[in-house]
Chain A
Amino acid sequence: MSDTTTNPKNHQLIDRVVIRFAGDSGDGMQLAGDRFTTSSALLGNDLATFPDFPAEIRAPAGTLAGVSAFQVHISDHTISTPGDAPNVLVAMNPAALRANLASLPQGATIIVNTDAFDERSLTKAGYEADPLSDDSLTAFTVYEVPMTSITTQSSKDLGVKPRDAERSKNFFALGLISWLYTRPVEPTLAWIAEKYAGKELVLESNLRAFKAGYNFGETAELFESNYEVKPAVLEPGEYTNITGNTATAWGLIAASIQSGLPLFLGTYPITPASDILHELSKHKQFGVRTFQAEDEISGIGAALGAAFGGALGVTTTSGPGVDLKSEMMGLAVSLELPLLIIDVQRGGPSTGLPTKTEQADLLHAMYGRHGESPLPIIAAGTPSQCFDATIEAARIAIKYRTPVILLTDGYLANGTEPWKLPAIEDLPSIDPAFATGPNHTEDDGTESFWPFLRDETTLARPWAPPGLAGLEHRIGGLEKADGSGNVSYDGANHERMTRLRAAKIAGIASDIPPTDVDHEDGAEVLVIGWGSTYGAIAAGVQRTRARGHKVDQVHLTHLNPFPADLGDVLKRYRRVLVPEVNLGQLSRLLRAEFLVDAVSLTQVSGIPFRAAAMEQAILSLIDELAAEADGEGSR
C-alpha cells in the first residue's frame, strides 16, 4: 500500500463529511461503520454516529425492511449531531440505495456495489428498472464498484468458499472509504488481526478485502481525488469514543465506587437496553452482581431487595419493561429506598419500534404509577453525558432514599461521540449515611429505631440495612405512620405522609444546579429541550446564530424536580420552543407548571431531529416576532 503523499490523484482538505454505510442486515455495516468511526476518533476528528438497524436479527435478505445503516459525521471542528443528510452513501445492494435515496441531498456521492444489482435484488427492493442504468440518479455522483467480485477475487487462492469469501465485502467497503477519507491503515489492520485471531481464513480474507478496497480507490481510474478531514480542536485531554449504554454502565460502576455500595443490576434483556447488562456483566472485579431475571418485574424486585440490603440497586429496561416495573416503583416510593430505574426509551406504544429512538416516556416516568407517587427524573443529553447523569441519579437516589428514573434512549444508547475521560478525583463522593443506632426514645425511656423519622432538611428517612442489632424494623407497601413506620390507616396521617413524600422530591430542587442558559444578550426566543435532542437543538441554535439572529438554549438534565429558577428563566422570553421526539410531553409539563405559552415542535419518525428542521422552527418564531414588531411600528 503506498503512502498517500505519493498518490498522483488530487487530495482535498474538507472540514466535515457525513458518511452512511448501508446494506443488508447481515452485511456487517455496523461493524464497518464502527471501525471507520474509531479510525476517525484516533485521528482526532470530532464525530457523532447514528446506527440505524431493523428489529429483526436477519430480516428477509435484500428487502427494504432488512436494510441496516450506520451514519457517521466526522469533522475538524466541534459538532453535535450525526448530520442531517449523508454526503456519501455506501449502498451494498439496491434496497440500501432505495431506502436511503430520499435522505440524500443533491450532489451527494453514492458508491454502489454493482454486483448486488441483479434483477432479483432489484425486484426485492421494489425497483422496476435498474436505477444505475436509467436517469434516476443524475442528481448524484455515482461510483459503481463491483465490491463482491473484487472481494471474492482477493481471497481466491486461500481456498475460501465463494459464499464465505463474499462475507468480507464490508471490509472492502471499509478499505475503500478509508482511502477516500485518508484514514490511517495500520490501526485497522491490527484491529482486524486481533478481532479475528484464531480464525486464520476469516482473518486473512478480511485483511485482503480491506486492502483490496483501499488499493481500488487508489489505483482505479474512478475517483478524481481523495479527501482529508483534519483533527478537530478539542479541549486537551485523554479521549475515548463511547456509546450511551457503555457510558451508563461505567457511570454505574463509578457510582458504586464513589458510594462504597456494591452494585446490583437486576434486569431482563430488552432492546435497546441490553448492552448495559452485557457491559456490566464483564466487570465482576468491581464487585458487580448482574442478575438476568425471569421477567422485568423480578429484575426491579431483586434490585429493590438488594437496596433493602444496602446495595446500589439498579434495573435497566425500555418501553414495555417500564410498564411492568411500575408497581415495584410504587413500592420503592412507599418504602423510600434508593433505587435506579434506567429507561432506554424506544418507539411505543406496546412493542412499537424496538430499534428506533423516541423520548415518549417522560409523562410515564412522571405519572405512571397509581396514587400520589412522585419520584425524581434525570435525563442525559448526549452519549457521554449518560455517565454523569447516571452518577447524578445515583446521588439523588441514595441521598433522598428514593427511586430515581434515568431516561436515555435508543439514539443515545447506540450512538457514539468522543468523550474526554473524567479525572476520578473529580467525581462526586456519595455518602450512603446508613443509620448507626436508635433514633427515638419511647415513652418508657427505651431507645428504639423509627424507620420513618425523617431528616429535617432533606426529609429523607434513615436507611438501615439488616445486620445492626437494635435497628430491626419492618416496612411495607401499606401506609406507614409518620415517624414510627408502623402500619397506619389513619386519614390524617396519610394526608401528612402523602405531602411529605411530595415535599421531599420537590425539595431536591434546592440541591441541583440552577438552569444553565446558553445565553446571548437580546435573545427573545428560547429553545428548551431534554434528552437526546441536545445535539440537533445545539446545531439548530448555532445555525440560527450564524445567520445573525439571537436565540438562547436550555437543555434540562433534571426533569423532576425542575431547577428552582426555571420558571423565572422561561418568563424572560417572548417565545419558548420545545422540540421533542414525542407529541409534546415536556411542553405540557412546562405549561402546567409555569403557565408559559410554550410552542411544541414534535417528531416521532424513529430518527433524531435534523438540525435544519430545528433552524427552520427557530427562524419562524423569530420571523413571527419581527412581524409583530412591524405591526406595532405601522400603527
Chain B
Amino acid sequence: MTDVSNAVPVPLTTRKDWSSDQEVRWCPGCGDYSILAAVQMLMPDLGVRRENTVFLSGIGCAARFPYYMSTYGMHSIHGRAPAIATGLATTRPDLDVWVVTGDGDALSIGGNHLIHALRRNVNITILMFNNQIYGLTKGQYSPTSEMAKVTKSTPFGSLEQPFNPLSVALGAEATFVARTHDMDRKHMMETFRRAHEHKGASFVEIYQNCNVFNDGAFEGITGKDHRADMLISLVHGEPIRFGSESQFGVVMQRDGSVEVAEVAAVGEDALLIHDERKDNPGLAFQLSRLSRGPYEPTPIGVFRDVERPEYGQQMAEQIDTATERRGQGDFAALLRSGSSWNVE
C-alpha cells in the first residue's frame, strides 16, 4: 500500500489540504478551534502524507477532531482510542497515528488504556485537551477538576483529588511528556512537532479553555497579561528561568523538591538546568508538580524526551527473527507439528 506512494516525493500542501469539508461544530469561542488550527497549520511542515496520517479519538468534545482533518480517521468510543491506536500502530508502522482525547476520555474512562499505551511505548502521538470539565455531557466535574469544584453533579463541591496528567504520564513510564496551551499557537505547533518527531508514545497536555462550562480556568496563567510571570518555558539544557524581567527561576531544595525562587536571592548558578533526556523521570516528575494548579507559575514545554524501543517495531523484529530462524511459515509443516499418522 505504501510502496508506490513513498517512491514519489511528499507533495507540498497547505493548511487547506489538511482540512476536511465538514463544518466545525464546537461552541463559538471554544479553545478547540485554536488547537485544530495549530495542527492543520503544522501538518504541511511535517513532511508527511495525508494518506499515511490517521487521527483517532474517543468520545467528548475533543473527540470530534478527526472529522475535521482530511486524513484517515476514526471517532471511536469513550476512552478506547489508545487501545485502537495500539492495534493500528503496531500493524501499520508506516502510518502516523495521532490520538486526540480529553481529560475525561483519557484519564477517567480510558485511564487504563492511556497508561498502558505509554508504558509499552506504542508509536502514537497523544494530544490531551485538558479543560478540567465534562463539556459534551454539559458540565460535570472531571478527573482534573480542582477539589471543591461546584458543578452540576457536585452542587456542594467536588470531593476528589484531581489527577496531575503529566505526573500520571511520567508515572506510566512515558518517554515523551509535554505541556502547551490553546492561547499560544506557536508554542502548540512547536510542541506538537516535537511530539510527532519522537519515536514511541508521546503525551501532550494542552490547557484548553471551555468557555461554556469552565470559562477562564487557565486565564490566570495563559492570559496575555499573566504569561510572563506565570508560565515557565522549559528549554533543554538551559537554566529554568521566567518572569517579565527573568527575575524568577526554579531551584532544587536540599530535600529534593523543586520550587520557584527569585534569581536575585539564590544566584544564577543555583538555577536548575532543564534536561529532557534524563533517563530517570524523577526531575521531570518534580517539575510536573511545581504548580498545584493554573494559579501558580506553571512549566510548559517538553518535560521529558527519552529514547526507548518502540513497541510495534519490537513486535516486527520478533517476526523477522522467527522468520530468519525458521523460514517463512510453512502451513503444511505446522499441521504436522504434533504427532501425525497415516491411515491407509
Contacts and interface: CB of A to CB of B under 8 A. Distances in A.
A307 B51 CA distance: 17
Interface in A26-53: 38, 41-42, 44
Contacts of B86: 266, 291, 293, 298, 301-302, 305
A308 B52 contact: no
A462 to B, nearest CB: 13
A538 interface: no
Contacts of A311: 87, 91
In this complex, which of B67, B69, B329, B341 has the most chain A Cβ atoms within 10 angstroms of its Cβ?
B341
Interface string A237-254: 111111000100010011
A160 interface: no
Contacts of A187: 339
B87 A475 contact: no
A289 B74 contact: no
Interface in B53-71: 53-56, 59, 66-67, 69-71
Contacts of A257: 329, 331
A306 B88 CA distance: 4
Given A239-B343, A284-B323, A469-B51, A291 B77 contact: no
A321 B55 CA distance: 28
A293 B91 contact: no
Given A254-B331, A305-B86, A310-B92, A474 B113 contact: no
Interface in B64-115: 66-67, 69-77, 80, 83-92, 94-95, 112-113
A513 interface: no
Interface residues of B, number: 64
A621 interface: no
Contacts of B241: none
A471 B55 CA distance: 15
Nearest to B67: A474
B91 A309 contact: yes
A240 B66 contact: no
A622 to B, nearest CB: 36
Nearest to A38: B339
A198 B69 CA distance: 59
Contacts of A307: 87
Interface in B1-41: 1-2, 5, 20, 22
Interface string B327-344: 111011011101111111
In this complex, which of B83, B113, B325 has the most chain A Cβ atoms within 10 angstroms of its Cβ?
B83
B335 A421 contact: yes
Interface stretch (A217-225, A327-335, A547-555): A327-335
A293 B83 contact: yes
Given A308-B74, A421-B340, A467 B88 contact: no
A285 interface: yes
Nearest to B328: A285
A105 interface: no
A117 interface: no
A238 to B, nearest CB: 5
Contacts of B69: 474
A173 to B, nearest CB: 21
Nearest to B57: A476
B254 interface: no
B151 to A, nearest CB: 26
A241 B51 contact: no
Contact of B51 (A284, A286, A308, A467): A467
Interface in A461-481: 465-478
Interface in B183-237: none
B51 to A, nearest CB: 4
Interface stretch (B263-271, B301-309, B314-322): B314-322
Interface in A438-472: 465-472
A487 interface: yes
B318 to A, nearest CB: 5
B116 interface: yes
Contact of B341 (A44, A288, A313, A471): A44
A469 B84 contact: no
B91 A264 contact: yes
Interface in A277-309: 283-289, 291, 293-295, 297-298, 301-309
Contact of A487 (B67, B83, B94, B329): B67
Contact of A240 (B71, B77, B335): B335
Contacts of B326: 285
A187 B113 CA distance: 48
Contacts of B340: 238-240, 421
Interface in B273-303: none
Contact of B87 (A231, A264, A465): A264
Contacts of B74: 308, 335, 474-476
A330 B91 CA distance: 22
A40 to B, nearest CB: 11
A295 B55 CA distance: 23
B179 interface: no
A629 B217 CA distance: 84
A292 to B, nearest CB: 10
A475 B20 CA distance: 13
B87 A237 contact: no
A469 B8 CA distance: 12
B1 A465 contact: yes
B161 to A, nearest CB: 23
A476 B76 contact: yes
Contacts of A303: 87
A235 interface: yes
B334 A250 contact: yes
B95 A466 contact: yes
A486 B68 CA distance: 11
In this complex, which of A44, A264, A470, A474 has the most chain B Cβ atoms within 10 angstroms of its Cβ?
A474
B50 interface: yes
Given A298-B113, A466-B95, A467-B2, A236 B343 contact: yes
Contacts of B59: 477
Contact of B88 (A288, A308, A421, A476): A308
A592 interface: no
B181 interface: no
A472 B70 contact: yes
In this complex, which of A42, A470, A473 has the most chain B Cβ atoms within 10 angstroms of its Cβ?
A473
B75 A474 contact: yes
A144 B116 CA distance: 56
B66 A304 contact: no
28 contacts: A41-B341, A42-B339, A236-B344, A237-B343, A238-B342, A240-B338, A284-B323, A285-B327, A289-B90, A289-B91, A291-B315, A294-B112, A298-B86, A301-B80, A302-B83, A304-B76, A306-B91, A309-B88, A309-B92, A311-B87, A421-B335, A421-B340, A465-B92, A470-B51, A474-B67, A474-B69, A475-B73, A476-B66
A-B pairs with lowest CB-CB distance, top 8: A476-B75, A305-B87, A301-B83, A302-B87, A286-B329, A467-B1, A305-B84, A284-B322
Interface of B: 1-2, 5, 20, 22, 49-56, 59, 66-67, 69-77, 80, 83-92, 94-95, 112-113, 116, 315, 318-319, 321-323, 325-329, 331-332, 334-336, 338-344
Interface of A: 38, 41-42, 44, 187, 231, 234-242, 246, 250, 253-254, 257, 262, 264, 266, 283-289, 291, 293-295, 297-298, 301-311, 313, 327-328, 330-331, 335, 420-422, 424, 465-478, 486-487
Given A237-B343, A473-B72, 8 more contacts: A236-B344, A254-B331, A264-B87, A293-B86, A298-B113, A306-B88, A421-B336, A487-B67
